[in-house]
A and B are shown apart, each in its own frame.
Chain A
């Protein structure tokens, strides 16, 4: 045996060149022992070792291979090392714990992943993967299984695209539901290939169904929604509501709400159709209205009152049901799956409820109710703004109107407009168009009365138009009211479009139609808009282009070719602009499928079309963080000759990265320091989009210097972006920015563009009565189509101010709304385990400060503000929660010890560390992690899902025998109006018929 202390390996090396095999064998084995010390020497004779391995005759080839592998490893040539390690066969021991083996196994997996991805993508013909490589990876899988590291195994399986191993890993795990949800999250977030993601989701659905007796229907439906498998969802929902168990029906409602939140209207429409196809129409008289209602949801049933009546009915039926079924249980169970089961009254009522959910009527009316009752918009801010700006300055004037609209988005509160009619009447021409559209934002979701509200402005049949601007704006406003829910209004908008030849009205109608039929790809609508496009009017053509895009959004339709062709033919830049944006909208979410169109657009000679190409990349790869997309955008951001294209490219990064907001500031950090102001603007907006509503520190740090940039429009972008980032953040963080905004607005010397940005930002910061956030993601981390599209079109305000009203689309109420089985809000509360002042509304401006126009709200951190906020809250609480307290106490549901919060004396007591949130409550996104539902025995209402504690959540009533106490619906702003009254809204006292708005005569 060789000595332990060997100074040099040269002796052994020379043995390798001997004739005798046994000598070589001895040399190899000895060298393997000392190679870690003498690799540098062996490296000199590597060729000899290699030739030994290649010599087929040589009996100890594997030893030679192992030696070569180790030397290559020391030389850090890991690829070669791996090749030889594979050649060493069994001698390469995977289970060894040495650094050498660990490094090589990691390398091995990397290489396997790379090869597998290429193989699966099948772009080029590749030789099959080395079986030895595969076997090593499989050995690693086995090791993971043996050691119980299932998550690692799942990770590797996803990376290597091995569905079989994925399945194996999941099935082996004990807590299968937990691991399934882990896989679901991982596959949605991390798999970049759309095709493979679908495969994984399909597999997951199968696993969910086979895994346990009661599958997790919520997750299954999420998967199916991504797979666009409407018929299975329909089947599941049908099965759930036809089940005897009331809980199943509740689950179905919850799924319905969750599905609606993801804003895929076509999908839900198909689901509804599928279920209604299962419901035998003629045999069931109650089913007929339900079907009708599916067609025209905007009428009677949608409103709370209607539901209330309905709910009462269903209560009765339920109470009546048990005695009915009790005597004949055999019949009920036997016929459960028969059509007669679907004819049962319980089924019918449940189906009706589910329909209102799936059509979105329930969600929308609940949100409307929440927003209007919780409206905390501060009119004094607006008043301050109005006084600060010069009325002659139309830019700031219309920006203020926009700020008012965003501040009151969805609240139905138009007090400010009504109080300032004179001032309002200064808006003329397109400003008037915008101002009218603003009403649509304010009344967003007011489906039942939307049309009657807008009646005074709408074009009237044959009579000559009073003002085309307000008429066009009204049509646009109708679109904004009925985003996604346009079934009822579409026909009217179509007729308006056909009846007019005025391009301003056409403009409004095109936008309205696009919004109302978002993503439906309706052919009649398409043909009509195309007619407008071909009329070759610049104004109408632009809107037609965008309208087409909205109509075809997310369909990846072939019609883009037609649009592109026309974009090449036309002379009008505005039309090209509209069309290129329209093309971008159509490929929303198509990822790789959109590459051809993106490539065509991005390579076009016309910068406007390249601009569209950037947006197409942004929308196609929205929220995927796809590396190729980012690379392309960065490339254009630094290399294109047109400033517009570069700006769009940088801005688009925000859309691609919004799923991982913390990455965005890093990616655009350098661009934010570019010499080119367009790039800086783009960087600011990108951060605003990607980090919207997060309040991320890095984002704020990046935006802060841009807010004081030398160029006015960069400041504008930075201010808007800052407002998007800071929306609904704790006042401690936002108050500084508020002050800054006030200062800019009041500053006489400030440039108009920056001032406009500040006004828009102020509106956005307090959007929706301070109860909404900018949400591009739904709570289940999927993408909200209308929101993303809306934000994309909003950024076009750069060219065309009226498009700024699209900002209402991404706004999402941050509410926790609990519903019982009748879709009514019962009284209950959840606990927020943090200081109430942390997430409180910004304190309203006091009237004293209004005299000095631009006094900022005091920072909340100061003790006085705290005390004031608390005092106010206490007052609120006393007012609001009093009635509920006795009831809940009686039910002993209030076991959580919150008396301290309620009893707290007004002034000097320390601030409580938690507070009770009464249903429906405002829960801002950052607050979600502190919110807890009450737990324990005796709690009356138990949520069907706990995470996240916001949005609409169905509560299970554990004590149905007790009387139900519902939250009183405050009679505000028409929401609670007896909507059942089908007569036009003129008789209503609130919202007042807008006759005072006749500012239009200028």
Chain B
């Protein structure tokens, strides 16, 4: 649980690679940075360029850790003119004595040419600070008020900031474990975002909703919502990553392991290298799903830097499954039960028991041409003997092993293994890999951004063209003259 919730934060911070080089340079004062961001916001709104807004958010992440109550207070006081609805409220929640619970937002008063974007940005800065200081109650109050304020606007330039505010709304509630309170609010916001063609808000809210449902293990509801909602066409990588992660989890619970694996693999590949927490979670699920599919994840997966510690329990499980040792499996489960429970993967782990047995069976199947049921039971560490026969029978029927049962003699005869390379299997494997590569390539191409009129720069100017034409003409003349001379020579 702790890890899972933390991962969002880790990811957030980690997704700012720009932070590191900036630190070496003497950092300008915080208030200067905030002012600069405000002017960037104004520019973004005036030029209708959402990318600038994205830059504002990134830069905010850079100096996030340095925020102090006094600095923010000064910023709010200087930036927000009097009469802005949120101003007194923000100042109130910043002061340490303030209860932070006075959520009564006065009805919107006079607003001059002042941009609502700046107001929401100020809210966001305050929220960030409060959350970093672990004042979740206050953060909740501020976000709730901010969302209420956002409802009064219908501006596309606000989308990016609004999505961020929604995220922190959900986040503060999650920290206080009151996620179920905001589910209807999120649903309503999601509907509004869809109707307003607010793509950013739409995908953010859908993810928050899925998270909300999964938090309470409401997989069925989550799947119903997901299947009935259309994803916006343009989506950010970040949000899509999360969506794939949730989808993978839903699919895994629904026993659709192949789909689940595909989703999780994509999520892990799309996730930025720095988003450690996110990758840990995805890899945990991925390991389990692959095990359930009968595959054995490579050892390197568990040896990735920063992941070893977190993935250790899963490593032991994998080992148990690989050798089909039921006893080792049991031991691992017992040892790490609490971890699996907080990871919400216990459900899948119990499903794995069957896989352990199968793997063991397969090994026996390969090793022995004929073996009695009692021996099998002993090797697998199973208890009752009649149970063994039905397990074996089921495995044969599912095609996990190639063998026949001799019921009267209570033993199992293995059939000869066919050469894999004479079958279609390698071809299939190649095909899967190639199509994966092609898909990745296509996605990369469609995800590329082409600035408008960029191709015009490449065009040659009128003078250059004239010069080129002149040169070509001279060349042609030259050649013609030479030819003439040659002809004359003849």
Contact = CB atoms under 8 A, between A and B. Distances in A.
A36 B224 contact: no
Interface in A703-747: 705, 708, 710
A43 B191 CA distance: 15
A74 B191 contact: yes
Contacts of B195: 99, 103
A37 B462 contact: no
Interface string A1-37: 0000101100000000000000000000000000011
Contacts of A880: none
A213 interface: no
A528 to B, nearest CB: 50
A7 B456 contact: no
A805 interface: no
B228 interface: yes
A157 to B, nearest CB: 26
B461 A41 contact: no
Interface residues of B, number: 24
B194 interface: yes
A75 interface: yes
A272 B425 CA distance: 93
A36 B465 CA distance: 64
A717 B398 CA distance: 76
B462 A708 contact: yes
Contacts of B258: none
Given A103-B195, A708-B461, A40 B230 contact: no
A39 B228 contact: yes
Contacts of B229: 40
B74 interface: no
Contact of B191 (A7, A99, A705): A99
Contacts of B230: 76
A758 to B, nearest CB: 14
Contact of A41 (B192, B221, B459, B462): B221
B461 A36 contact: no
Contact of A710 (B184, B194, B465): B465
Q: By DSSP majority rule, is chain B's interface helix, strand, loop, or mixed?
A: helix
Contacts of B459: 705
A43 B224 contact: yes
B183 A37 contact: yes
Contacts of B187: 36-37
Q: By DSSP majority rule, is chain A's interface helix, strand, loop, or mixed?
A: helix
Interface in B159-200: 180, 183-184, 187-188, 191-192, 194-195
Contacts of B225: 40
B191 to A, nearest CB: 7
Contacts of B218: 7-8
B183 A99 contact: no
A5 B224 CA distance: 19
A5 B192 contact: no
Contacts of B228: 39-40, 43, 74-75
A44 interface: yes
Nearest to B187: A37
A345 B116 CA distance: 70
A190 to B, nearest CB: 25
Nearest to A78: B195
A5 B462 CA distance: 71
Contacts of A8: 218, 220-221
A710 B467 CA distance: 12
A40 to B, nearest CB: 4
A40 B465 contact: no
Contacts of B216: 7
A104 to B, nearest CB: 11
Contacts of A76: 194, 230
Contacts of B224: 40-41, 43-44
A99 B221 contact: no
Interface in A679-717: 705, 708, 710
Given A75-B228, A708-B462, A710-B465, A36 B194 contact: no
B456 A5 contact: no
Contacts of A40: 221, 224-225, 227-229
A36 B192 contact: no
**Most chain A beta-carbon neighbours within 10 Å: one of B183, B188, B221, B459:** B221
Nearest to B180: A5
Contacts of A36: 184, 187-188, 191
A74 B230 CA distance: 11
Contacts of B456: 705
A76 B230 CA distance: 9
A929 B250 CA distance: 64
A37 B191 contact: no
A192 B220 CA distance: 52
Contacts of B221: 7-8, 40-41
A30 B285 CA distance: 38
B342 to A, nearest CB: 22
Interface string A74-101: 1110000000000000000000000100
Interface in A48-83: 74-76
Contacts of A41: 221, 224
Contacts of B192: 99
A44 B187 CA distance: 17
Nearest to B229: A40
Nearest to A41: B224
Interface in B229-248: 229-230
Interface string A432-463: 00000000000000000000000000000000
A742 to B, nearest CB: 16
A37 B228 CA distance: 13
Nearest to B195: A103
Contacts of A710: 465
A7 B212 CA distance: 12
Nearest to B470: A749
Contacts of A39: 228
A71 to B, nearest CB: 9
B263 to A, nearest CB: 19
Interface string A403-424: 0000000000000000000000
Nearest to A37: B184
A722 to B, nearest CB: 15
Nearest to A7: B218
A708 B180 CA distance: 65
Contacts of A37: 183-184, 187
**Most chain A beta-carbon neighbours within 10 Å: one of B183, B184, B461:** B184
A41 B227 CA distance: 10
A5 to B, nearest CB: 7
**Most chain A beta-carbon neighbours within 10 Å: one of B188, B216, B224, B459:** B224
Interface in B309-358: none
A72 to B, nearest CB: 11
Nearest to A10: B220
Interface in A100-151: 103
Nearest to B223: A40
A666 B219 CA distance: 49
Interface string B443-464: 0000000000000100101100
B199 to A, nearest CB: 14
Nearest to B465: A710
A653 B413 CA distance: 82
Contacts of B220: 8
Contacts of B194: 76
A217 B362 CA distance: 99
Q: Which 9 A-B pairs have the closest CB atoms?
A: A708-B462, A40-B224, A40-B225, A40-B228, A37-B184, A43-B228, A41-B224, A37-B187, A710-B465
18 contacts: A7-B221, A36-B191, A37-B184, A39-B228, A40-B224, A40-B227, A40-B228, A41-B221, A43-B228, A74-B228, A76-B230, A99-B191, A99-B192, A99-B195, A103-B195, A705-B459, A708-B461, A708-B462
Given A8-B220, A41-B221, A44-B224, 7 more contacts: A5-B180, A37-B184, A37-B187, A40-B228, A41-B224, A74-B191, A710-B465
Interface of B: 180, 183-184, 187-188, 191-192, 194-195, 216, 218, 220-221, 224-225, 227-230, 456, 459, 461-462, 465
